[in-house]
Amino acid sequence: MQRIRLRYTKRGRLRFTSHRDFQRAFERALRRAEVPMAYSAGFTPHPKVSYANAAPTGTGSEAEYLEIQLTEARDPGPLRELLDASLPAGLDVIDAVEAHTSSFADRLQASVWELRLDGVERAEAERAVAAFLAAGAVEVERRTKNGLRTFDARAAVVRLEVLDAPADRPGDGACAILRLVVRHATPAVRPDDVLSGLRAVADLAPPVPAAVTRLAQGLLDEETGTVTDPLAPDRDASPAASAAGPGAGAARVPEGSG
């Protein structure tokens, strides 16, 4: 079987799409695009699709990943275009590579998030970020299906900084932009957990809900705190890259991960 790894987005209103809703939409797209999918065995066969570390409902993302298994070989480029055209705008398939390596999920070590805090002054955000980073531990609570769970939101945070708000953003009120790099851990630390931590250590409480977008996820460079493209090893291992010689398949850093 051929395995294809895809990167897709959740943009605009589609950020409110649940993972289950996306699964249904993607399976319809597979049928519309007439992708020769491999299916599981049993009484209710399902297309062989592996989803990896989906973003929480309500957050945008530029870096969601999945893998499909095909019964016939297809060129990843045209396949990506067919699937993208078969999905609603906002759920966009933006990259596709043939899998030449194993353990793809193990490469999703960390995520880069952007948190837009409307109504928050930059100085206020900087004060809260400094207090959060200075803390040895920041305990927060999250409600789960088994009740409230308390855990440390600080240990998984690799980087947290305040950026300049874009000059072309709509409106003229206060707006703080946070860039967060968080290591994938157990339990998972999500952007809303970090916001809860900022509230706990510095009483930072944005007047409106934060707009949260995942910019990248992939391999974590511990020395620099950056996140690199998890599809790069497959590009490097492809026959075309090998034929092109050294350096042809250099890793690409996803936008926003620097």
Based on the domain organization, do 90 and 134 belong to the same domain? no
For the whole prediction, is pTM greater than 0.75?
yes
The number of angstroms, rounded, from the C-alpha of 53 to the middle of its chain's C-alpha atoms is 8
Helices (H), the chain: 19-32, 76-86, 122-134, 191-202, 232-237, 239-244
SS3 (DSSP) at 177 = strand
Please say whether the beta carbons of 213 and 58 come within 8 A. Answer: no
Question: What was the pLDDT predicted at 247?
Answer: 45
| pLDDT average, residue stretch 138-152 | 88
Residue 211, domain extent: 110-226
Give the CATH number of the domain where residue 204 resides.
3.30.70
Question: What was the pLDDT predicted at 128?
Answer: 98
Residue 241: which pLDDT band, with cuts at 50, 70 and 90? low
Give me the number of domains the chain comprises: 2
Please say whether the beta carbons of 161 and 129 come within 8 A. Answer: yes
Domain end among 70, 99, 128: 99
- pLDDT digits over 12-66, tens only? 999 999 999 999 999 999 999 999 999 998 888 999 999 999 999 999 999 999 9
Q: Which residue has the tokens 């992939």?
A: 218
* CA–CA dist 41, 188 (Å, integer): 32
| Residue 201 lies inside a defined structural domain of this protein | yes
Based on the domain organization, do 220 and 114 belong to the same domain? yes
User: Residue 243: pLDDT above 60?
Assistant: no
- pLDDT digits over 99-118, tens only? 999 889 999 999 999 999 99
| Residue 51 lies inside a defined structural domain of this protein | yes
Residue 244: which pLDDT band, with cuts at 50, 70 and 90? low
Based on the domain organization, do 23 and 82 belong to the same domain? yes
Give the CATH number of the domain where residue 50 resides.
3.30.70.580
Based on the domain organization, do 53 and 129 belong to the same domain? no
- pLDDT digits over 155-168, tens only? 999 999 999 887 66
